[in-house]
Structure 1
Amino acid sequence: MNAIKRFRIIAWLEGISFLLLIFVAMPLKYFADEPWLNRQVGMAHGILFVLYVILAIEIKMALNWNLKKTAIALGASIIPFGTFYINEKWMRKN
């Protein structure tokens, strides 16, 4: 599997895990006093986030991205729905 395909898969999974963490696990923790899901989803999101960063750096080298484009791709990982935007708008071109 090439780097672009791996990046697109991880970007999608990282985005989903972030949304689950924000909109499902954290409300359950704070409003229903159910922290178990927050730990599980948080761990999965953390692993996917690290993979996303590693693959973004790999893609930067493979596609010769400049610093601005790399910073935007990395910054998108901390904005809800950001990885979906990167995945659909930038990576479909390659």
Structure 2
Amino acid sequence: MKLLLNTFRIVALLEGLSYILLLFIAVPIKYFGQDPQYVKLLGMPHGLLFVGYIVLAVLIGKELKWSTKTFTVVFLASILPFATFYVDQKILKKTIPVNAAS
């Protein structure tokens, strides 16, 4: 379980970073600079990370018996900029046992 949680934390970090890059760098370049190259470059990796985030959230949520409120916060974090970092600090970091085996 610890390995799955650590994997989810990494995916959440990468998903959050890709979303920020896509939203605040690639999209403005596309519309203000008329260059869609960066959206194409970042879009697919972000989409894959988004799907991975959701799948891992469901698996971990079922295993840890998250409440509906926790599920909702984790899922909403996938669509709000910077929110995956909040989930990591407030939910995931507290969930990982210090000396637990994988």
Shift of 1:72: 1.1
Which residues of structure 1 form unaligned runs of 5+? none
Aligned residues: 94
Q: State the 1:3 CA deviation.
A: 1.1
Please, which runs of 5 or more residues in structure 2 have no aligned partner?
A: 96-102
Structure 1 stretches of 4+ moved >2 Å = none
Equivalent residue, structure 2, for 1:85: 86
Determine the C-alpha separation between the residues in 1 that align with 2:37 and 2:48. Answer: 17
| TM-score, length-scaled by structure 2 | 0.88
Shift of 1:67: 1.7
User: Which structure dedicates a bigger proportion of its chain to helix?
Assistant: 1
Deviation at 1:49?
0.2
- Aligned runs of 1:6-85 on 2, under 5 Å? 6-85=7-86
Counterpart amino acid of 2:25?
V
Normalised to the residue count of structure 1, the TM-score between the two structures is 0.95
Matched residues, percent identical?
44
Q: Over aligned residue pairs, what C-alpha RMSD do you find?
A: 1.0
Q: CA deviation at 1:17?
A: 0.3
